[in-house]
Chain A
Amino acid sequence: MSLGQTSIAYPNREDGALASEAVSPLGGDLNERSSPWWFRRRALRRQIFHPNNFILGLSCAVLAIVFLWAAVPSLFSPDTAVGAYPTQVLQPPLGKFFLGTDQYGRSIYAELVYGARSAVLIGVLATAGSAIVGSLMGIAAGYIGGATDMVIMRVVDVLLALPGLFLALIFVAALPPNLMNLIIAVGVQGIPAYARVLRAQALQVRGRLYVDAATVLGVARWKILARHIVPNCLAPVLVLAAIGFGFAIIIGATLAFLGLGPTTPPLNWGALIASGQGYVNQDWWITTFPGLMITAVVIAVNVLGDWLRDHMEPTSR
């Protein structure tokens, strides 16, 4: 919303002095618009409670909480680790335990807090891995072209031929079950998207006039790649990564749910849902809260990704 904010664009003068540097004779900034305090407060209130901004803020809050849980779980949970209370099994929510307990007498809330680390690690590391590898492959294919392009894109086609989850399944099944291998599996299935998009981006940037200009100047090929091609290709990576982050968490949870995740702590929300499966008719809270948590995080990440996509402008910095 642009209430109460009107900036007048003056054409730049040929001598290089920008009109925005103008100050009024009284010493105030001419570009700052003065309006009564009540007007500004109403504008502020409208901005905060505007549906779009509200959802965006909520998403940021959800993500902030999950990242904090992942970083220092002991601050948010009454126990320093998830302890079992054998006398308190299958307690419903809002009793002695905020979200109830599972069949071993462990607090669901504590499990969610301690499970955040696994979800965040999978999300961050797998996304970072596939973004870096996929982007490098795509840029190399697009910029170098020819046989390199051919080989790289056929490899990507092979990865793309299998559904993401299936691809991750193959890797997890072939590797020993630990968190690192789960991250690798989730990371590999994310590579094709980056490679495809970045190849197209590199092809486009390669044809820009400033690349020709650098060539004419006598700039070495690798310097053109590092200074002009790569920085100008990276805009879509952030948006892709934001969406890929949510997807990585889902796939990680799915694999853990299927029993292909790490068998040792940290806890995983997907494994938690799997363990509550047998109790879902009576004791719904064991499966519901981890599921809601996954949903909330993925929606929050997607909202943030959408916002990023709308607000990434290549020309303005």
Chain B
Amino acid sequence: MPPNQAAPLAREEDRHGGQREGLRDGPREARAQRDGALLEVWDLVCHFKLRRKWWKGGPAPVVRAVDGVSLSVGRQETYALVGESGCGKSTLGRLILRLERPTSGAVRFEGRDWLALRGDHLRQARREVQAIFQDPLGALDPRRTVGKSVEEALDAHNLAKGQAARRRVAELLESVGLRPALAARYPHELSGGQRQRVTVARAIAGGPKFIVADEAVSALDVSVQAQVINLLADLQESLGVSYLFISHGLATVRHMADRVGVMYLGRLVEEAPAEELFSAPAHPYTKALLSAAPAPDPTTASKGVELRGEVPSAASLPSGCRFRTRCPKAKEICREAEPVLLAVAKGRSVACHFPES
């Protein structure tokens, strides 16, 4: 039972207890789940302060990019985060990668306090947590050959030097399905799919346990997407890595993910095993998201909910439930109280006053 499924009061106690004594308190099944968890995120918050306009009074506006997200990812598990653009899923990924500083909250990786690592300790620990970015051309230095870029990963942790490093680079390129001769090429000489394979080779060079794949296939052609997805799945099998798979492509998520978290305006609104989420979405937002995805066969496409209006700004959230401005089921209570993420079935939780059952 992940931390966010407990009742709010219990969760609060649980969290403080956990921080004090290394997550050893709490109900028995929760402990069992946590011992298996590789990465745990506890109530993570990341607010960006905007500059106050001098002609407007009041406090400086705050963008709540990530506003209290808790989740856990097990070993060799693929956890997918889905949601519209601007809902904070990429920021969450960057927080876990320590590229952004969180406002509050905790992240534990293999039981260690991941956010407390500093300087050289952090640099060395990064070997375990790697990233694949959306734009592979931007993620590779245009002035270095791709071989050098992959070699940099080996050099950073003193894994291999000189001739041995070049041999290892060739092996890595082969393991992601590229000819080793491509090591001498510059990024702009490769195709999009080849570039993304290079960044995958670089990510696995240090033998990571956890990879944040931030829209890793969104920029690629559909046929190449499938190849890269299959590559990622194969690597999970052979290396035993876990993925945090951030995506807005629901088809790839369905294919890849073990569990799915749906984010809306900085919060998780629903969390469920992938198959259950796709077959029976409980949150109206999830339902709308699924019905917005094009169906392979238009004649059988379900008549789903259609979302009206725009996503509210993360700098001025609506009162109560964040989704109520666009929700077809919104009632008076949605304006007054923000629903918490509650377990509705085994492994499933949803933050809604009127969940589908």
- Say whether A and B bind each other: yes
- A positions within 8 Å CB-CB of B: 11-16, 18, 208-210, 212-220, 223, 227-228, 231-232, 314-317
Q: Is there an interface contact between B139 and A210, defined as CB atoms closer than 8 Å?
A: yes
- B220-250 residues with Cβ-Cβ distance < 8 A to A are 224, 227
Q: Is there an interface contact between B123 and A218, defined as CB atoms closer than 8 Å?
A: yes
Q: Is there an interface contact between B202 and A14, defined as CB atoms closer than 8 Å?
A: no
Known contacts A12-B190, A16-B181; decide if A216 and B152 are in contact (CB<8 Å). Answer: no
Q: List 11 A-B contacts (CB under 8 A).
A: A14-B193, A16-B190, A209-B139, A213-B139, A213-B199, A215-B99, A216-B126, A218-B123, A218-B125, A218-B156, A218-B157
Is the CB of B127 closer than 8 A to any CB of chain A?
A: yes
Residues of A with C-beta under 8 A to B182: 16
Is the CB of B81 closer than 8 A to any CB of chain A?
A: no
- B135-193 residues with Cβ-Cβ distance < 8 A to A are 135, 138-144, 152-153, 155-157, 178-179, 181-182, 186, 188-191, 193
Residues of A with C-beta under 8 A to B186: 317
Q: Is there an interface contact between B179 and A15, defined as CB atoms closer than 8 Å?
A: yes
Residues of A with C-beta under 8 A to B157: 218
Q: What's the Cα separation between A213 and B152 when bound, in Å? A: 11
- B positions within 8 Å CB-CB of A: 97, 99, 123-127, 129-131, 133, 135, 138-144, 152-153, 155-157, 178-179, 181-182, 186, 188-191, 193-194, 199, 202, 206, 224, 227
Residues of A with C-beta under 8 A to B199: 213
Q: What's the Cα separation between A57 and B97 when bound, in Å? A: 53
Q: Is there an interface contact between B144 and A14, defined as CB atoms closer than 8 Å?
A: no
User: Among the listed B99, B144, B188, which residue makes an inter-chain contact with A216, where contact means beta carbons less than 8 Å apart?
Assistant: B99
Q: Is there an interface contact between A218 and B127, defined as CB atoms closer than 8 Å?
A: yes
Residues of B with C-beta under 8 A to A228: 141
User: Among the listed B97, B140, B155, B190, which residue makes an inter-chain contact with A210, where contact means beta carbons less than 8 Å apart?
Assistant: B140
Q: Is there an interface contact between A218 and B179, defined as CB atoms closer than 8 Å?
A: no
Residues of A with C-beta under 8 A to B135: 209
Q: What's the Cα separation between A38 and B99 when bound, in Å? A: 61
Q: Is there an interface contact between B126 and A217, defined as CB atoms closer than 8 Å?
A: yes
CB-CB nearest in chain A for B138: A209
Q: Is there an interface contact between A220 and B156, defined as CB atoms closer than 8 Å?
A: yes
Q: Is there an interface contact between B193 and A209, defined as CB atoms closer than 8 Å?
A: no
Q: What's the Cα separation between A210 and B140 when bound, in Å? A: 5
Residues of A with C-beta under 8 A to B155: 219
Q: Is there an interface contact between B139 and A219, defined as CB atoms closer than 8 Å?
A: no
Q: Within the complex, what minimum Cβ distance (angstroms) separates A314 from chain B?
A: 7
User: Among the listed A12, A220, A227, A315, which residue makes an inter-chain contact with B123, where contact means beta carbons less than 8 Å apart?
Assistant: A220
Q: Is there an interface contact between A14 and B191, defined as CB atoms closer than 8 Å?
A: yes
Q: Within the complex, what minimum Cβ distance (angstroms) separates B98 from chain A?
A: 8
Residue in A11, A210, A218 whose Cβ sees the most chain B Cβ within 10 Å = A218
Residues of B with C-beta under 8 A to A314: 142
Q: Is there an interface contact between B139 and A315, defined as CB atoms closer than 8 Å?
A: no
CB-CB nearest in chain B for A235: B143
Q: What's the Cα separation between A26 and B99 when bound, in Å? A: 56
Q: Is there an interface contact between B156 and A231, defined as CB atoms closer than 8 Å?
A: no
Residue in B131, B139, B190, B202 whose Cβ sees the most chain A Cβ within 10 Å = B139
The 4 A-B residue pairs whose C-beta atoms are closest, nearest first, are A218-B126, A209-B138, A218-B156, A213-B139
Q: Within the complex, what minimum Cβ distance (angstroms) separates A215 from chain B?
A: 7
Residues of A with C-beta under 8 A to B133: 209, 212-213
Q: List 8 additional contacts besides A210-B140, A218-B157; criterion CB under 8 Å.
A: A12-B189, A16-B182, A212-B131, A213-B140, A216-B130, A217-B126, A218-B124, A314-B142
User: Among the listed B123, B125, B126, B224, which residue makes an inter-chain contact with A14, where contact means beta carbons less than 8 Å apart?
Assistant: B224
Residues of B with C-beta under 8 A to A13: 191
Q: What's the Cα separation between A219 and B202 when bound, in Å? A: 12
Q: What's the Cα separation between A198 and B181 when bound, in Å? A: 35
Q: Is there an interface contact between A316 and B178, defined as CB atoms closer than 8 Å?
A: no
Residues of B with C-beta under 8 A to A12: 189-191, 194
Known contacts A215-B99, A220-B156; decide if A16 and B194 are in contact (CB<8 Å). Answer: yes
Residues of A with C-beta under 8 A to B194: 12, 14, 16
Residues of B with C-beta under 8 A to A231: 141, 143
CB-CB nearest in chain A for B224: A14
Q: What's the Cα separation between A31 and B168 when bound, in Å? A: 35
Q: Within the complex, what minimum Cβ distance (angstroms) separates A17 from chain B?
A: 9
Q: What's the Cα separation between A12 and B270 when bound, in Å? A: 42
Q: Is there an interface contact between B141 and A232, defined as CB atoms closer than 8 Å?
A: yes
Residues of A with C-beta under 8 A to B127: 218
Q: What's the Cα separation between A26 and B336 when bound, in Å? A: 80
CB-CB nearest in chain A for B127: A218
Q: Within the complex, what minimum Cβ distance (angstroms) separates B15 from chain A?
A: 27
